[in-house]
Amino acid sequence: MAQAMPPWIQVLQRRDPKFVDAYMAQREHIMSDGAIPAKYKHLMTMIVDALQTHPDGVATIANRARAAGASEAEIQEAVEVTYLFGGTPALVTAMNAFRPEP
């Protein structure tokens, strides 16, 4: 499942497209179905983004998880795992998983 280039990397794309091509290829390989299905990899990255308080990243990654087949119940449980390990501040950020798409 090819992913769009994240907005944060677009400046780097203009400066070093060869590096970005290598990064995106590695990212595609890592985030694809393997021993761990892609939807679970996206849920894991959503949890990490919430713990690092990246609300826009949480929303984007939650939508990637949905596109990879994650259910709303799976996203909800991932939000709850975030809370268990990150407390209330992480819970507030994790709720961005339910932010409507623009």
pLDDT in tens, 77-96: 999 999 999 999 988 999 99
Could you write out the DSSP letters of every residue in 48-76?
HHHHTT-HHHHHHHHHHHHHTT--HHHHH
- Report domain extents, the chain: 36-98
pTM (2 d.p.): 0.83
Token pair 């679970």 is found at: 40
pLDDT value for 100: 86
Mean pLDDT of all residues in 13-27: 94
pLDDT value for 52: 94
- CA 94 – CA 81 distance, rounded (Å): 10
pLDDT in tens, 27-81: 999 999 999 999 999 999 999 999 999 999 999 999 999 999 999 999 999 999 9
Cβ atoms within 10 Å of 87's Cβ, excluding its own: 11
